[in-house]
Amino acid sequence: MIAYWAIGLLIAFTKNYTTKLAIQITPYSVFVLGVSLLCQYFLSQRYTGFGRKRNWIPIIIFGTFNGFCETMIFLGVYDIARQIQDVHKIVTVTLGFTLFSIYSALAHEHFWLPHALPPHVKPDAPPFTNTGLPYLIIMSIGWFSLYEIQGDILSICIIHFLIDVWAASVMSLPSPFWAKY
């Protein structure tokens, strides 16, 4: 997990994202926040802590580092396509979102679920493709539109932090540094 976050920090500094961390509170950013929180409400209905004790220290640490560092990784992957010149912007945005989606799916399938997160999906939860993926897509579209429209990175980091803290608190995320699941 630390290596994953280190990659996010490296991207933040090499892509100069840290120079773009001025928050822009606009009606649109408030709308994206509201939509993200509503989506997280529905997503969190799938989660359980399976009786684990809630420990706010690792939850806040996770939310802080993941909210910032993973956002940097997401934007870095997305921006790979934005580097393409002489193509209509809709093509680069679509390609960027597609690259982000592929990266995100691979990261969750091969890192987060098997190695970093404890069991947290309720046994009777409906299929992820029906009750999880649509909400993640809606949130992602909101975050990337906020980035495209306003160039606002800090708002996305804050929203990502809130979503991660909410999810981690529902699943009672233990510290990966000193707890076993």
For residues 77 and 103, is the Cβ–Cβ distance under 8 A? yes
Rounded percentage of the chain residues whose pLDDT exceeds 70: 97
Residue 175 pLDDT class (50, 70, 90 cuts): confident
Per DSSP, the three-state class of 122 is coil
pTM: predicted TM-score of the whole model, two decimal places: 0.90
- Condensed to tens digits (0 to 9), the pLDDT of residues 32-43 reads 999 999 999 999
Q: DSSP labels for 124-143?
A: TPPPHHHHTHHHHHHHHHHH
Residue 37 amino acid letter:
L
For residues 33 and 166, is the Cβ–Cβ distance under 8 A? no
Rounded Cα–Cα distance for residues 156 and 135 (Å): 16
Per DSSP, the three-state class of 152 is coil
